[in-house]
Structure 1
Amino acid sequence: MLRIFLLMLLTTGYVQAQEAPERIAGAMTVNVEQAKRLFDLGAVFIDVRPVSEWSWGHVHGAVHLELSERFAGLARPEWPREVPLVIYCDSDVCPRGAVASALAVKWGYKQVFYFREGYFAWMLQDYPQGKGLAGEVVAFSP
């Protein structure tokens, strides 16, 4: 069932036409101010946007895991499940962050924060940003 849902969301027309859900079971939805507090506390930010959007800009220090085969990297057993993860896409009209948050919960992460407002809200607040290419994947440390 989840695979069918993922396939529907990842088809270009469907992803662009839908608004992201407000809540994800097992995750906490956070707004931009709450996301900033989590950033200040050292939470790991996961950016699930396409490579081109990542390279334009992202939350400073965020890990890029485009929602595709690479995102399955979060399922790796050696990554601690207690690490607070803040997962985001570009805005509340992008369901990729919701899908990624649901997957992180399914894989046993205990502190999943679904940043529904996404990068555009972060950028509008002029919070710390970075620019770079895809492939910047860091190992989580407890």
Structure 2
Amino acid sequence: MEFLQQNIMWVALAAVSGGMLVWPMIAGGTVAHLTTAEATLLMNREDALVLDVRETGEWGSGHIHGARHITLGQLGNRMSEIEKFKDKPIIVICASGNRSSSACNQLKKAGFDKVYSLDGGISAWVGANLPLTTKS
């Protein structure tokens, strides 16, 4: 007991950091992230669906060829449009990776199993010198 009283800050730090490690498992799992190289392999080898959840203006400035566009805010209402892809891998993309993680969690709750977030989002895609298109 004396040890705990003398080292309360260290004990608290250990408890908080341990809690942060366990939280993703409690909160519904973790999101699988892909690099741009892993994403292109999945697209080419397994015909993965690319789902872009950015806003319309962001989409219009450039997106991955063949990607489907459903904004994060519309995803819940438009889930039926991608229902036929439940058995395929889905790569979710946003600007930097934050919205895509949220979309991945929504998709997993809806029963999609093979869901991945592009690590770094469209910024990483552009940074890897991979092509974008502005055509629908």
Please indicate, yes or no, whether the TM-score normalized by the shorter chain is above 0.5.
Answer: yes
Structure 1: 4+ residue segments shifted above 4 A: 75-78
Write the distance in 1 (CA, Å) between the matches of 2:124 and 2:68: 18
Is the contact between residue 48 and residue 100 of structure 1 (CA under 8 Å) also seen in structure 2? yes
Out of 43-52 and 109-118, give the one that drifted further. 109-118
Residues 1:114 and 2:117 are matched in the alignment:
yes
Structure 1 unaligned residues grouped into runs of 5+: 1-21, 134-142
Identity fraction in percent: 25
Equivalent residue for 1:140? none
Out of 78-87 and 56-65, give the one that drifted further. 78-87
Q: Find the residue that maps to 1:86 and give its secondary structure.
A: strand
Q: Which has the larger radius of gyration?
A: 2
Larger RCO (CA within 8 A; separation ≥ 6): 1
Q: Find the residue that maps to 1:52 and give its secondary structure.
A: helix
Equivalent residue for 2:91? 86
Counterpart among 68, 72, 81 of residue 67 in structure 1:
72
Is the contact between residue 53 and residue 94 of structure 2 (CA under 8 Å) also seen in structure 1? yes
Equivalent residue for 2:38? 34
Q: CA deviation at 1:61?
A: 0.8
Amino acid at match of 2:56: V
Q: 1:87 to 1:102 in 2, by over 3 A?
A: same
Q: Find the residue that maps to 1:68 and give its secondary structure.
A: helix
Equivalent residue for 1:16? none
Alignment of 1:1-142 (within 5 A): 25=29, 27-41=31-45, 42-75=47-80, 78-92=83-97, 95-132=98-135
Is the contact between residue 75 and residue 103 of structure 2 (CA under 8 Å) also seen in structure 1? no
TM-score normalized by the length of structure 2: 0.70
TM-score normalized by the length of structure 1: 0.67
Q: CA deviation at 1:73?
A: 1.5
